[in-house]
Amino acid sequence: MTPPFSFFLNNGTINKMIDKYHGIWIKSYREYCYFKESPGAYFRKAFTVPKEMKEAKIQICGLGFHEIWLNGEKVGDRWFAPALSQYDYRCGSITYDVTDQMLKGEENVIIVMLGNGFFNCRNSWKYTVNFASWRTSPRLICDILIDGKAAVVSGTDWKTHPGPVVFDCHHLGEDYDARLVLPAAFRSGFDDSDWTDAFRAYPPGGILERDEDEPCRELFRRPGRNIAPEKAGFRLFDFDTTIAGVIEVKMRGRAGCKATFRYAEVLRGDGHIDTSGIDLGAPRFETDSYTFRGEGIETWHPHFVWHGFRYVEVTVDDPETEILDVTGIFISSDLKVTGRLETDHPVLNQVHALTLNSYRGNFMGIPTDCPTREKFGWTGDANAAMETGWWNFDPRNGLRRLADIIMDLQRPDGNFPTHGPTTLWGFEQSCPSYSLFLYEFCRYCRLFGGDDRMIAEYYDRLVKGVAFFEVMTADDHLCHVGYGDWCHPLYRPAKPDGETKDPTSVESIAWYAILQDMVLFAGLLGKKEDEARFRKLGELVRTAVRERFYDPATHSCDHGFWAASAMALVYGIVHEEERAAVTAALAESVRRERHRMVAGILGARFVLRALSENGCAEDACRMIVQPEYPGWGNLAAQGATALWERWDGKASRNHIMFGEPPAWMYRYLAGISPLEPGFRRVRFAPNFVSMVNQVRAEHLAPAGRIVSEWRRENGVVRCRFEIPSGVSALVELPGMSGEIHETSEFTVAF
């Protein structure tokens, strides 16, 4: 009897199917020391299927990344599959429907090519990935299912042979030798007797979790323009926008000659690319090469690495080599689009667009920090853009994947790392402002997605996280470690010669925010004792923050530190009767700075919210559009097409951690906010700021489409609010307030 192929896992994972296989794990060679480069390999199997076949599927886990061909045709349109994971805990198992590609009653040939990806990442110069707990050579397990039964399975009867990807590294790049492509091997009739039998391999350690999340796909293409001087000795292609993905090149060259491609986001003064802000002195960084087969026009793209770039510098070792065309391919998780927003203010529109470019460019299976230097899932970055993501897309699957990685990595004492996948690095700087991602993710799943399941599934792990921070703050209820208001322009590391800012105030408020979330979660789950305990602990933290940092004379926190005052307003550290004075002090400080965003990633997020929640949305809007350094308007004025890691641009030019503005535009400019989970009840309270005369925002919520639009003409604002059937809304406009139960229009005169 055929055993079951899968079962459900419901332990820290929401109804994720765990695939079972009949095949065994195989690899391309018998290695004894796996801390070395592993060239990509072909795996081949020829087989015949019955003429009466009705359905054919390939179920596979191929690590690090895999590509599949069936009878010479590529299977599927995925890139970088499976998605990054903590491989000794979870590995992505993917099922492809190949019914239409299968030859009934004839010999079929499957070819699988494996790359190292992040699974076998050789990077001796940074990030400890060389010593990852899961690291070993690429391997696969595969079942070919014919009408639901495993007809062909991976084993030592599969054949393997070196492939054209002779080197690939997640951070360093890929080398491709087209002379090693074997076109005949992809079809029937090929004699593979001189190929090596595949070797049995150990499993990677993780459960084989069915990957049904949005795959990485090509989203769009952008042609490159050669902007190098005619006699420069190199070619330099400009794509006019920041891209996360790969290039596709059409070229002609003699067999054995090589073209080298180096990627960058900025140029040096001499016209060459500049990676000095992101490469950390690596001997090789973001570099691909292609060795020609020598057969006419050859078309190539990298297979197992992605890059972040606006520019590609091309050099060749033979002056007769022709580079005919270079096209940029933007790749990202194919997230469902749930939002659309436009205004009549060009800078707001530009900031909105470049932020979404960064959001998509940093979502490759999981949300990452950047597509160049690290390509990790940093929780602080994901949390900084949490609400922006939920307004514009449905990001829950990728966010959940990152949350699963972090949950799997939680240490017995409750410590969550700051990022993942990881092994050694990330625990020593664990802090509330980064761990808050896990708690906020659960809250946003409920608020935006109408889904409470994550709260129940993750609850015990979240409680352990609280226990860890209880120990860390046992002496005074304050958290003295963490990244704080990271990349603040006045402090290290953004300003290397600046002083170090004590993170205690903002990390302690983030600790309080975690406890507030836990009060909510415990209450929803009926855990009354936990609810009371978290509320009591929260009050102790709140009191400690107020006693240490709140100054009633200046109505500010931590000597006027913006992030601290703003977070104190947003999370309720200040008393209600103090709110107006604290807001006024913060707004006055912002005005003294001419609305420049003199803040890091926490300040940039919470200052906009604190001002807008307390009657100063005009100041918040000016902070987004003003053109001076530092700020978003300054990035727009410099022609940025993605968010920068630092306001001065001296690091990555594609980071999402300053990604608050789109969320602000939906919530405060258009004025949409959910009052009940899943937008079953909505609030419309737009802010009619003076520099904007027209706004339209729509969001596809679980309950249906929600629209807020307003236009100002001749001192009169006309508003239109659209809600789906079954949804009610509270409308709050100057001089009026009330409930609506259907699409409604209002007029406000000034």
For residue 280, is it within any domain? yes
pLDDT band of residue 214 (cuts 50, 70, 90) is very high
33-47 exposure pattern, b = at least 16 Cβ within 10 A, e = fewer: eeeeebbbbbbbbbe
85-122 confidence digits (pLDDT tens): 999 999 999 999 999 999 999 999 999 999 999 999 87
319, 368: one domain: no
130, 252: one domain: no
32-36, 328-332, 566-570: segment of lowest average pLDDT: 32-36
396-433 confidence digits (pLDDT tens): 999 999 999 999 999 999 999 999 999 888 999 999 99
In 3D, which of 420, 518, 423 has the Cα closest to residue 469? 518
DSSP 8-state assignment for residue 85: -
The neighbour count for residue 53, using CB atoms within 10 Å, is 15
DSSP letter string, 119-188: TT---TTSTTGGG-TT----EEEEEEEETTEEEEE-STTSEEEE-SEEEEETTTEEEEEGGG--GGGGST
Residue 723 near residue 743, CB atoms below 8 Å:
yes
207, 326: one domain: no
537, 419: one domain: yes
Instruction: Flag whether pLDDT at 1 surpasses 80.
Output: no
98-107, 131-140, 314-323, 364-373: segment of lowest average pLDDT: 131-140
In 3D, which of 34, 127, 201 has the Cα closest to residue 418? 127
**Of 610, 645, 669, which one is at a domain's C-terminal end?**
669
Per-residue model confidence (pLDDT) at position 678: 97
Instruction: Flag whether pLDDT at 123 surpasses 80.
Output: no
Per-residue model confidence (pLDDT) at position 500: 86
448-487 confidence digits (pLDDT tens): 999 999 999 999 999 999 999 999 999 999 999 999 999 9
For 276, residues 6+ apart whose C-beta sits below 8 A from its C-beta are none
For residue 721, is it within any domain? yes
d(CA 565, CA 680): 32
Per-residue model confidence (pLDDT) at position 36: 59
195, 222: one domain: no
**Of 158, 182, 213, which one is at a domain's C-terminal end?**
213
Instruction: Flag whether pLDDT at 33 surpasses 90.
Output: no
pLDDT band of residue 7 (cuts 50, 70, 90) is very low
Residue pointed to by tokens 């100002």: 712
In 3D, which of 24, 34, 392, 15 has the Cα closest to residue 202? 24
Residue 572 near residue 541, CB atoms below 8 Å:
no
641, 503: one domain: yes
d(CA 153, CA 60): 10
215-232 confidence digits (pLDDT tens): 999 999 999 999 998 887
pLDDT band of residue 6 (cuts 50, 70, 90) is very low
pLDDT band of residue 56 (cuts 50, 70, 90) is very high
pLDDT band of residue 11 (cuts 50, 70, 90) is very low
For residue 675, is it within any domain? no
Domain count, the chain: 4
Phi, psi for 289 (deg, rounded to 5): -140, 155
Structure tokens at 666: 């939906």
pLDDT band of residue 305 (cuts 50, 70, 90) is very high
Average pLDDT over residues 623-634: 99
For residue 676, is it within any domain? no
Separation in Å, CA 164 to CA 123, 174, 558: 21, 10, 58
Which parts of 348-500 are beta strand (E)? 363-364, 366-367, 377-378, 419-420
Average pLDDT over residues 310-328: 98
700, 578: one domain: no
298, 413: one domain: no
d(CA 664, CA 612): 9
Average pLDDT of every residue of the chain: 95
Per-residue model confidence (pLDDT) at position 9: 37
pLDDT band of residue 34 (cuts 50, 70, 90) is low
517-539 confidence digits (pLDDT tens): 999 999 999 999 999 999 999 99
Instruction: Flag whether pLDDT at 125 surpasses 60.
Output: no
d(CA 335, CA 392): 10
608, 634: one domain: yes
For residue 100, is it within any domain? yes
Instruction: Flag whether pLDDT at 697 surpasses 80.
Output: yes
Of all residues in the chain, what percent carry a pLDDT higher than 90? 90
Per-residue model confidence (pLDDT) at position 748: 87
Instruction: Flag whether pLDDT at 434 surpasses 80.
Output: yes
Instruction: Flag whether pLDDT at 3 surpasses 60.
Output: no
Look up the CATH number of the domain holding residue 172: 2.60.120.260
Residue 596 near residue 628, CB atoms below 8 Å:
yes
169-189 confidence digits (pLDDT tens): 988 999 999 999 999 999 999
**Of 333, 358, 378, which one is at a domain's C-terminal end?**
333
432, 373: one domain: yes
d(CA 666, CA 392): 9
d(CA 20, CA 524): 35
This model's pTM is above 0.85: yes
Residue 505 near residue 565, CB atoms below 8 Å:
no
pLDDT band of residue 312 (cuts 50, 70, 90) is very high
In three-state secondary structure terms, 399 is helix
For 443, residues 6+ apart whose C-beta sits below 8 A from its C-beta are 455, 517, 520
Domain that holds residue 698: 684-749
For residue 196, is it within any domain? yes
Instruction: Flag whether pLDDT at 15 surpasses 60.
Output: no
278-287, 304-313, 339-348, 374-383: segment of lowest average pLDDT: 278-287
d(CA 172, CA 301): 16
For residue 1, is it within any domain? no
d(CA 723, CA 737): 17
User: What's the gap between Cα 628 and its chain centre?
Assistant: 29
For residue 674, is it within any domain? no
309, 373: one domain: no
Look up the CATH number of the domain holding residue 462: 1.50.10.10
pLDDT band of residue 313 (cuts 50, 70, 90) is very high
d(CA 685, CA 697): 13
For 592, residues 6+ apart whose C-beta sits below 8 A from its C-beta are none
In 3D, which of 362, 364, 310, 354 has the Cα closest to residue 65? 364
Per-residue model confidence (pLDDT) at position 12: 42
For residues 9 and 361, the model is more confident at 361
414, 319: one domain: no
